Amino acid sequence: MLAGFLKALASRWNQDPAAMLGDFRAGWQQQGNFLRIRQGNEDFEGVADQVDESGHLHLLLADGSRKVFASGEVDFPA
């Protein structure tokens, strides 16, 4: 298992960041799902909209606004 992981990691090591992000977006399965994100002392809840070119998560909040996250703790409530 470790050998397989290291082989996959080695194949990504020199990959263009834009190509790597494209691969991530193609396999990302959270778009349209309800997420809860904790950033510092605040919690935000909404629907995952996209991951942009910088790798930031866009969350559509209940009030119709959009919040963009570069970091945070993500929870996937059932």
Weakest-pLDDT range from 14-18, 32-36, 60-64? 14-18
Single pTM value for the model: 0.73
Q: Which two tokens stand for residue 49?
A: 């909209």
Mean pLDDT of 41-62: 93
Going by C-alpha positions, the residue among 13, 77, 18 that lies closest to residue 44 is 77
pLDDT score for 78: 54
| All structural domains of the chain | 2-75 (2.30.30.100)
Give, in degrees to the nearest 5, the angle at Cα 34 between 56 and 25: 40
Are the beta carbons of 68 and 27 closer than 8 angstroms? no
